[in-house]
Amino acid sequence: MAHYLVIVESPAKVKTIKKFLGSSYTVAASQGHVRDLPKSSLGIDVEHDYEPKYITIRGKGDILAALRKDAKKADKVFLATDPDREGEAISWHLAAALKLDEKKMRRITFNEITKNAVKASLKAPRDIDMNLVNAQQARRVLDRMVGYKISPLLWAKVKRGLSAGRVQSVALRLVADREDEINAFIPEEYWTLDAVLKIKGEKRPLTAKFYGTDKKKMTIHSEAELNGILKKIENAEFKITDIKSSERIRKVPLPFTTSTLQQEAAKALNFGTQKTMRIAQQLYEGIDIKGNGTVGVITYLRTDSTRIADEADAAAREYISSVYGKEYAAAGHKNANAGKKIQDAHEAIRPTDIARTPASLKDSLTRDQFRLYQLIWRRFAASRMNPAKYETTSVKIGAGEYCFTVATSKLVFDGFRSVYTEADEEKEESNVLVGNLSMDSRLTKESFDPKQHFTQPPAHYTEASLVKTLEELGIGRPSTYAPTISIILARRYVTKEAKNLYITEIGEVVNNMMKHSFPSIVDVNFTANMEGLLDMVEEGKVEWKEIIRNFYPDLDEAVKKAEKELETVKIEDEVTDVICEECGRNMVIKYGPHGKFLACPGFPECRNTKPYLEKIGVPCPLCGRDVVVRKTKKGRRYYGCENNPECEFMSWQKPSKEKCPECGGYMVEKGNKLVCADEKCGYVTALNKKKE
């Protein structure tokens, strides 16, 4: 009787797949990659057309030996690694490491780990797709070149253990640029004006918002402007000039891709990108369902497609019709993927069986697995339903030469919202329109409600918004978003406080050096273009070595130039006038993982270190002592008084010696402007005038 070997990546999958196949199959796991470039050297033969030198990964010898033994006994070996570039490459490396005979080796892929999918894949085996493998080789080699050529410069220039990476350096730059924008932002004042109106014969008052004149929307910039308007309409008659009713639909959401799943899980469940991927991996590889054995409950988690397989689509519509009613199930296909570069071998992320409701799995899942599965299930169900419908009414109310508006919307048909609402959906208007409002309704003014506001700076990046931006700019692919963000956080170039990402001092140093010496690598367009070339390798349109041949000489030249510049700037430890209390030497400034600190130059006999408080030459506005640069626990920089905790002064922006000429308060630097720290005062002047 014939005997077959199926090789997958993880032990969790072994358990799931074993159950679907008969006794003539052995299922074994490679436990991820088995060969890679060596850690100790570049591992790419630059002299001989950039040939990569792969070695067996340390500690994988025993696994490979066991797999070799299994492969010898088998009549056929099926390589069943993940259905993407990375998985294809692992299969290729396995074939090489196990010295598999081409005649008895086949590649199979499935998008979900269910009995039907696995069985179907065995009926459609194929050869290894070298275009996919080469796209992965090209990415690996490019990343290795950037990492291994530039990181040593960072070690020399800044300090040990730092690294540069092709995609992570661009992500770091995005965060840095956003910080600069926020720091340079100057708030502008504006006012809103509400009128509370009584309608004759109705108990509930109506709140109308100031719009402008009948023809033009207006922004009220100051209190003086507001008072001018109030004066004009103090005794004006309020009357309805227009009532419009219309129907508005709220579009159905598309099913999840890797990027939208990461964004939504961050907003709705407060999961970091890495956590989302880890839990999705568990749901994909197989869950032990009570009374049902192990089965994969979602489809493959690395995808940028919103396509849904026909069978799943039909099953979902049928399920929705029977559970929610016919009017909820949408007709026809919604595969909105046209015009976008997508690895469309994949489907969107969806439950493998819509009838497996979150509630029915609750006892088989951990709390986090349940919450993520529920999010995926609801989003998929919603994507096969009809849109929600609202009846909207907008009313214009005239008051002298000005105009106020009231807008309300009422849900007429909840559609997909019966199962799913997005985490950051805007709140529906609270004004419930009085039923019998008409052009003849009599209005009297009860009161005005003016409020002062200030424009807000751009928001700090969060993991979710950074993923969204990386995707929009075409940087990275579904498999790279989570690792990219994890790396810049792990290296402490970026720190996370209450969801927001902030650049650290060490991150600034690395980013500035990359911008100066390697502008193309941190250039968004260059990196997006590179991703496009990798896609073309995958499509078989570009030879992978061609990309490397074009890239390496420029990188090499930039590295040599940077090395020369660095030789001239020999970095000495900066000596300070702080005396080491243990041995009397002058302490020096060093860089650690959290930024600068003071260390005794007498190391190793004297190991004294202390925090370095950099003075900025400005007296504290509260007590007159020196203002120093401090860091929060997470590494975010701020300015505080050296006499902390007695003096509580703190500012995110750098304070200036200049006093505000308007109110006498202290001023802060924002970009190239000096701004009064008191928002209400609002005084602004150019910084360079002062500097001269």
- Pick the more confident residue, 598 or 8: 8
Lay out the sheet containing 189-199: strands in order across: 238-250, 388-399, 402-413, 206-213, 189-199, 443-454
Output the domain CATH number for residue 26. Answer: 3.40.50.140
What pLDDT is stored for residue 342 in this prediction? 43
What are the tokens at 560?
């040599």
For residue range 379-395, list pLDDT tens digits in order. 999 999 999 999 999 99
Q: Domain boundary residue among 550, 585, 610?
A: 610
- Contacts of residue 448, Cβ cutoff 8 Å, sequence gap at least 6: 193, 194, 195, 196, 230
What pLDDT is stored for residue 570 in this prediction? 54
Please determine, for residue 336, whether its predicted confidence score (pLDDT) is greater than 80: no
- Residue 306 backbone phi and psi in degrees, to 5: -110, 15
| 688 in any annotated domain | no
| 431 in any annotated domain | yes
| 199 in any annotated domain | yes
| 680 in any annotated domain | no
- Residue 116 backbone phi and psi in degrees, to 5: -60, -45
Q: Are 651 and 638 in contact (CB under 8 A)?
A: yes
> Containing domain of residue 553, as a range?
142-184+459-568
For residue range 477-522, list pLDDT tens digits in order. 999 999 999 999 999 899 999 899 999 988 998 999 999 999 999 9
* Cα–Cα distance for residue pair 112/90, rounded to 1 Å: 18
Please determine, for residue 181, whether its predicted confidence score (pLDDT) is greater than 60: yes
Q: Are 165 and 147 in contact (CB under 8 A)?
A: yes
* Cα–Cα distance for residue pair 597/631, rounded to 1 Å: 12
| 446 in any annotated domain | yes
Provide the mean pLDDT of the chain.
91
Output the domain CATH number for residue 466. Answer: 1.10.460.10
Q: Are residues 15 and 119 in the same domain?
A: yes
**CA geometry: angle 62, 68, 73, nearest 5 deg:** 135
Q: Domain boundary residue among 435, 454, 473?
A: 454
Residue 679 confidence class, pLDDT cut points 50, 70, 90? confident
What is the pLDDT averaged over residues 406-426? 88
From residue 665, give the alpha-carbon distance in Å to each of 8, 109, 683, 689, 691.
67, 67, 10, 19, 19
Total domains in the chain come to 5
Residue 692 confidence class, pLDDT cut points 50, 70, 90? very low
What pLDDT is stored for residue 568 in this prediction? 62
> Could you tell me what percent of the chain has a pLDDT over 90?
75
What pLDDT is stored for residue 431 in this prediction? 57
Q: Are residues 371 and 441 in the same domain?
A: no
Q: What is the pTM of this model?
A: 0.87
- Residue 618 backbone phi and psi in degrees, to 5: -125, 130
Q: Domain boundary residue among 454, 470, 491?
A: 454
Please determine, for residue 690, whether its predicted confidence score (pLDDT) is greater than 60: no
| 152 in any annotated domain | yes
Q: Are residues 310 and 376 in the same domain?
A: yes
* Cα–Cα distance for residue pair 206/433, rounded to 1 Å: 8
Q: Are residues 474 and 449 in the same domain?
A: no
For residue range 600-627, list pLDDT tens digits in order. 988 888 989 888 888 888 999 999 999 9
Q: Are residues 231 and 336 in the same domain?
A: no
Q: Are residues 564 and 583 in the same domain?
A: no
Q: Are 239 and 206 in contact (CB under 8 A)?
A: no
What is the pLDDT averaged over residues 336-351? 64
What is the pLDDT averaged over residues 62-88? 96
Q: Are residues 89 and 204 in the same domain?
A: no
Please determine, for residue 333, whether its predicted confidence score (pLDDT) is greater than 70: no
Q: Are residues 263 and 243 in the same domain?
A: no
Q: Are residues 196 and 306 in the same domain?
A: no
| 328 in any annotated domain | yes
What are the tokens at 37?
């470039």
The residues that are catalytic are 300
| 73 in any annotated domain | yes
For residue range 277-305, list pLDDT tens digits in order. 999 999 999 999 988 889 999 999 999 99
For residue range 251-281, list pLDDT tens digits in order. 999 999 999 999 999 999 999 999 999 999 9
Q: Are residues 560 and 467 in the same domain?
A: yes
Output the domain CATH number for residue 234. Answer: 2.70.20.10
Output the domain CATH number for residue 311. Answer: 1.10.290.10
Q: Are residues 545 and 578 in the same domain?
A: no
Q: Are residues 463 and 488 in the same domain?
A: yes
For residue range 244-253, list pLDDT tens digits in order. 999 999 999 9
